[in-house]
Amino acid sequence: MDTKSIVYIALFAALTAALALFPPLALPGGVPITAQSLGVMLAGSLAGARRGSLAMVLFLALVAAGLPLLAGGRGGIGVLFGPSGGFLLAWPISAFFIGWALAKFGTNNLLTTALWIAVGGIVIMYAIGIPWLAVAAKMPLSKAVYVMLAYIPGDAIKVVLAAVISIGVRRAYPQV
């Protein structure tokens, strides 16, 4: 792997960590609303599938190493196995999908960019996170789905932000 890829991987892992500085909103059920999934979407859309997903793996490794890098100062291996663990473990897959889809289907149009980011950042993330939440928090799947409805508006805002930012950045810095 070339040096540039290593630096980009480190950069997007750090970006996701820095987004934890926005205070999280705790909701019942144990999965907080945070700005950090924006980091996942940006890693996928700006760094690409491979670098983006590896950046998320690096970030999760730093969290597992005990650094309090998750919003609200959470960290340690324990969090990865907690109620929100499925969402965290879905991050590399989400970032990979977003990077892959945008590379394949183009990135100029705001609407299609937002759509692909939404599939990766909401559909895939929820598809992995919700069953995990249901098992970890010992609640029926239907209730877990119901609980997660509260997160859709916040995630939709993050999808739009990620799409606007990634298109704006590509326009200002095309060599990314």
Partner 1 sequence: MLDLYSPGSSILHRLAPGIKVSALMLCGSLLFLVDGLLIPSIALGFVVGLYRVAGLTMAQLWAQLRPAALLLVILFLVQGLITGWGVAVFIVLRFGVLLLLAGLVTLTTRSSDMIEAITRGLGWLRWIGVNPSKVGLAFSLALRFIPVLATLTKEVREAQKARGLERSIIAVAIPVTVRMLKMADDISDAIDARGYTP
CA distances from 13 to 56, 57, 164 (A): 6, 8, 20
CA angle 151, 17, 121 (to 5 degrees): 35
SS3 175: coil
Q: Is 79 in the site for partner 1 (CB under 8 A)?
A: yes
Q: Is 138 in the site for partner 1 (CB under 8 A)?
A: no
To partner 1, the closest distance from the beta carbon of 35 in angstroms equals 10
Please report, as a single letter, which amino acid is at residue 112.
T
Q: Is 130 in the site for partner 1 (CB under 8 A)?
A: no
Site string for partner 1, 31-60 (x = CB under 8 A): -----------x---x-----------xx-
Query: Helices 110-118 & 85-105, crossing angle to 10 degrees?
Result: 150
Applying CB under 8 A, which residues contact partner 1? 1-4, 6-11, 13-15, 17-18, 21, 23, 25-26, 42, 46, 58-59, 61-62, 64-69, 72-79, 82, 161, 164-165, 168-169, 172-173, 175-176
